[in-house]
């Protein structure tokens, strides 16, 4: 059984979705920098570590030595020393078709441009939203409101992220 650590943010829906789909992996720790994350209201969560300090987080990760680290809505840049310590063990979920629209608000920027709409799951690297692509799923933005697009995007995230975690 693979040991997984999931970094999540304010909503935490991908973290909660990964919890529901555990079969050949077990989430042993959730990490967030958001005390106000909606996910924290749920019951039956694995241990949760709330911290703003990446050095503190790094020590926790070394202690656990996970098989895979999943960045799912964690909107902070992971320091190079963490990425280098866990080569090919950190994956990121990004809301655009990379290499287009790196960084924050990618889903909104891609939708407005009607270009590179969808999700990318990739290995984390020292380059922001760089790293080897594992999976990309395109979404047609035409004839949709932004809210409809966001709903379809979330549906794709919830479908493909657990599948990729299963495969790795």
Supply the residues annotated as catalytic: 94
* Residue of 83, 76, 66 lying closest to 122 (CA atoms): 83
DSSP one-letter code for 99? T
* Residue of 122, 155, 168 lying closest to 24 (CA atoms): 168
- Decide: 91 and 71 in contact? Cβ < 8 Å: yes
For residue 146, CA distances in Å to 80, 96, 139 come to 34, 14, 12
Angle between helical axes of 146-167 and 13-20 (0-180°, round to 10) = 40
3-class DSSP state of 57: helix
């Amino acid at each position: 059984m693979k040991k997984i650590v999931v970094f999540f943010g304010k909503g935490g829906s991908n973290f909660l979705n990964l919890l529901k789909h555990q079969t050949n992996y077990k989430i042993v720790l959730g990490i967030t920098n958001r005390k106000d994350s909606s996910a924290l209201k749920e019951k039956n969560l694995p241990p949760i570590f709330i911290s703003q300090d990446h050095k503190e987080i790094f020590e926790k990760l070394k202690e656990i030595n996970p098989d895979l680290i999943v960045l799912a809505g964690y909107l902070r840049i992971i320091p190079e020393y963490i990425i280098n310590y866990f080569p090919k063990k950190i994956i990121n979920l990004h809301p655009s078709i990379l290499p287009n629209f790196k960084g924050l608000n990618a889903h909104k920027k891609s939708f407005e441009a009607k270009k590179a709409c969808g999700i990318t799951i990739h290995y984390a690297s020292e380059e922001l939203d760089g790293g080897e692509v594992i999976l990309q799923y395109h979404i047609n933005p035409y004839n949709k409101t932004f809210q409809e697009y966001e709903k379809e995007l979330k549906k794709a995230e919830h479908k493909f992220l657990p599948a990729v975690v299963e495969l790795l």
